[in-house]
Structure 1
Amino acid sequence: MAALTITATLSGCGADSAGEVTLKLVAADYGSNSANTSQKYWDELARAYEKKTPGVKIDVTVLSWKDVDREVAEMVDRGEAPDMAQIGAYADHARAGRLYSADTLLSVPTQANFLPMLRQAGEVDRAQYGMPFGASTRMLFFNEKLFQEAGATPPGSWDELQKAAQKLKAKDVKYPYALPLGPEESQAETMMWLLGGGGGYRDTTGTAYQIDSPANVETFGWLKKELVGKGLTGPVAPGELDRQEAFDAFVRGEVGMLNGHPTLMATAEKAGVKVGTVPLPGVAGKSKATLGVADWMMAFKQNGHRKEIGHFLDFVYQDKNVMAFSDRYDLLPVTVSASDAMEADEQHAAMRPFLEELAGSELYPVGDTSWARVSESVKKNIGRAVAPGGEPRAVLEQIARDARSAQSSASAR
């Protein structure tokens, strides 16, 4: 029934009998309930735009993150693409020639205002198709009360993290370090640890996967032996612990340390957990980079509304609108001017460390159509690398084979 409703909403040419253009936008829901659904944000923004732009209507459908990428792909397959989609992945649509490039849509000031590393991440063959919309990065979170009671100090390296975890365990902290390698979002936790060990998903050229590199094998060997093997990751096996479960446990005060993002910080502090943050530790000091994450706006060619889409997106990316969305969902702005404004505002002082880390962060290889299959392989397999009887090298080699196969298939298209 829901699918039929969506189809009815999005079908049609997008212009009514009076010559009015209706732009169809499908967007992901960043809210956790009906009170803070993204539908409210987009409805307010759409009405404000319509008020100043006679002849253009904005029709917004907001779907859950669980469904939105799949629903948009099904709309495209039915020949009913929306004018715009704000979802998690753009590369498949760009490679298939379905999208307008950003330079054909946006004014020069708008396109130039995207944070450079996010603008580059939205490129396919050096043309930008993915426009960043909402960003976050990761830092190591620790429960200040539990640390104080355990006599632990915030870690700056893996050895220091292990020592802090041992002190927390001695004080019966349920999860000294929460290691979520379950299928929900283990590709994120994995990438953070790989970066900390001097490796990563891709080689230094950024063109080939290196998942079974010596550095990556050593990283998961250390995790298996020094954290999981010593009982420092809690009662749930990492391969069965999803990110949201770990976050919920942190909010309940059951976790000493985990890798978190700004939304979790706000949620935990509202629950009375005093949160400390430090940059992600690495094997011999601060990690070479942290994980950066961005979601994407894209514009489909099918309905032909290039001029109207571009004008609307110039409005969407005005500072006041970027800041309103970032504030509502504890995200980082995706534009230079809005980031500068957030950094200068004392009310956003807690976000400054995340802004600083974002500049040097590393994103998933989202411009590569093979990434979706690689990510799925990580989610399916990585938990076994640290399980009793598991062999990190063998697991990483399996994921590497899947990555090579995915990249070959993408290249053959």
Structure 2
Amino acid sequence: MSQLHKRKMGSLLVLLQFTTMLLTGCMWGDAHHPVSTDTDAKASIMFVAPEYSASTRPYFENLVKEFEKKYPNIKVELQVINWDILDSAYNTMISRNQPPDLLLTNIYAHFAKDGLLNRMEDLLSPELKDKFYPYLMDSSKMLGTQYTVPYVTTIRELYYNKDIFNEVGLTEPPKTWRDLEEDARKIKDMKQVDGFGVDLTDNEIWAYLSYFFYGAGGGWMKDGEWVINSPENVEGITFLRNLYEKGLTDPEPAITTRDEKQRILGNGKLGMLISGNYFEAVVPQEFPGLKWAKGPIPVKEGQTPLVLGVQDVWMSFKTDHTNKEALSKFLDFIYEDARYEEFVLREGFLPTIRTVGDKLAATDTFMKQNLNSIQSARFYPINNPAWSAVLNATRNMGQTVLLGQMTPKQALDRLQQIALDKSH
């Protein structure tokens, strides 16, 4: 769900700094020691968040400063880490028995299965618990236990350059795969620009797999069982590969990211792509003259319209210094309405709490539309412990399939086997 990824050299420097900090820092001891609930003593919270944009770090630094001013007996250590290295960073922390007290990311169930997480029921105040939209809480539960809470969410839709559409005679976005192929070909032939942007990089490939799995009538799971190599999913990925082979996508799906393609669209060199609703906040600021519009994600003829939702969630690791009262205060502070509203608007996300969502929807047509749409959204199976391994296994799959090194069926058979292996 990242927005403005830094380049790899910057990520390497951050990782080196992070590793140095770990080696020189104090060890935090056994994660299974009894927790402390004495907030009169000095409490500490280690807090790790991903970098969504250039605004993320300043926002969280100011939040920590204000929190420590209000609660001087609670010390918060903040790390904002680039999405490109976030997984490796927190996994290193966990392997050194130094897990963060709070982590914001997009997977969690494998940690819950291993008994590493505190239950959110033990951390949430009744007032905060009551704020969340109930329909956004299901993905945060595993076997009925609330291990995480959603911080931000997005929905994915098709965004397009209206000037390009008008110039080639297109009056509405494509709704079906047939329309998508025809419109992309028309844009390519008449404008000599790429018709459809596809992100199969290791930052976003699972999203595009989802669009075409669900669009074909398939999905990741059915009735609690993995169905990654279903005929529907194979058909979806085969259609996507055929678009690429016909020259109707951008030329580098496995290299250029969604964020880079958004800029290409803004520059008038790309007709359409699937992105999150943060497009509406970010891209018009970078390209104020851009005329854009959106429509549903195209699906196979006869399938129902698709809405894909994505969430990032807070989780809390068990540590020898876990202070549940301090964590509860910090979570309340993070979700205070005015502060949380600022973050949502700054980063272009959808709110997960009613108090902010209802307020914004009352005056913002797009916000109201998006919050209505997400109620029927499909989500990744982040509450399944095997999802982390499946997600990791997709990272290099794009180029392998596009270049014909594996057929779509072979690639999905491999993912299915990984899912089954990790489920036992």
What is the TM-score when the length of structure 2 is the normalising length? 0.86
In structure 2, list runs of 5 or more residues that go unmatched: 1-15, 30-35
Q: CA–CA distance in 1 between the matches of 2:370 and 2:23?
A: 39
| Counterpart position of 1:47 | 65
Q: Deviations over 1:104-162 (max 9, x none)?
A: 11112312322223311111221011121121111000100000001013112222222
Q: Does 1:30 align with 2:52?
A: yes
Count, aligned residues? 397
- Once the two structures are overlaid, the 10-residue window that deviates more, 142-151 or 296-305, is 296-305
Q: Deviations over 1:206-246 (max 9, x none)?
A: x2211111211222233334x2343211333x344443442
Shift of 1:181: 2.1
Alignment of 1:206-245 (within 5 A): 207-225=224-242, 227-236=243-252, 238-245=253-260
Q: CA–CA distance in 2 between the matches of 1:93 and 1:119?
A: 18
Q: Secondary structure at the match of 2:278?
A: helix
Cα RMSD after superposing both structures:
2.6
| Counterpart position of 2:13 | none
Distance 1:5 1:151, change over 3 A: same
Shift of 1:387: 4.2
| Counterpart position of 1:63 | 81
Distance 1:328 1:9, change over 3 A: farther
Q: Does 1:273 align with 2:290?
A: yes
Q: Is the 8 A contact 1:158 1:285 kept in 2?
A: no
Q: Deviations over 1:303-323 (max 9, x none)?
A: 120111112212212222221
Q: Deviations over 1:15-57 (max 9, x none)?
A: 9xx932232212222223xxx2x22212222232233334223
Q: Is the 8 A contact 1:139 1:354 kept in 2?
A: no
Alignment of 1:9-408 (within 5 A): 19-32=41-54, 36=55, 38-152=56-170, 153-203=172-222, 205=223, 207-225=224-242, 227-236=243-252, 238-270=253-285, 271=287, 272-284=289-301, 287-302=304-319, 303-346=321-364, 349-387=365-403, 391-407=407-423
Q: Is the 8 A contact 1:143 1:276 kept in 2?
A: yes
Q: Secondary structure at the match of 2:332?
A: helix
Q: CA–CA distance in 2 between the matches of 1:246 and 1:390?
A: 26
Shift of 1:365: 1.2
Q: Is the 8 A contact 1:99 1:299 kept in 2?
A: yes
Q: CA–CA distance in 2 between the matches of 1:7 and 1:60?
A: 17
Distance 1:197 1:44, change over 3 A: same
| Counterpart position of 2:12 | none
- Once the two structures are overlaid, the 10-residue window that deviates more, 4-13 or 134-143, is 4-13
Higher RCO, 1 or 2 (CA under 8 Å, sep at least 6)? 2
Shift of 1:168: 0.7
Q: CA–CA distance in 1 between the matches of 2:358 and 2:307?
A: 20
Q: Is the 8 A contact 2:228 2:412 kept in 1?
A: yes
Q: Secondary structure at the match of 1:235?
A: coil
% identical aligned pairs: 27
Q: What is the one-letter code of the residue matched to 2:215? A: G
Q: CA–CA distance in 2 between the matches of 1:253 and 1:285?
A: 32
Q: What is the one-letter code of the residue matched to 1:391? A: T
Which of structure 1's runs of 4+ aligned residues deviate more than 4 A? 6-15, 285-288, 386-390
Q: What is the one-letter code of the residue matched to 2:379? A: L
In structure 1, list runs of 5 or more residues that go unmatched: none
Q: Is the 8 A contact 2:154 2:276 kept in 1?
A: yes
Q: Secondary structure at the match of 1:133?
A: strand
- Once the two structures are overlaid, the 10-residue window that deviates more, 302-311 or 355-364, is 355-364
- Once the two structures are overlaid, the 10-residue window that deviates more, 252-261 or 349-358, is 349-358
Q: Is the 8 A contact 1:130 1:298 kept in 2?
A: yes
- Once the two structures are overlaid, the 10-residue window that deviates more, 279-288 or 304-313, is 279-288
Shift of 1:288: 4.2
Shift of 1:376: 2.3
- Once the two structures are overlaid, the 10-residue window that deviates more, 248-257 or 125-134, is 248-257
Q: CA–CA distance in 2 between the matches of 1:356 and 1:312?
A: 29
Q: Is the 8 A contact 2:282 2:348 kept in 1?
A: no
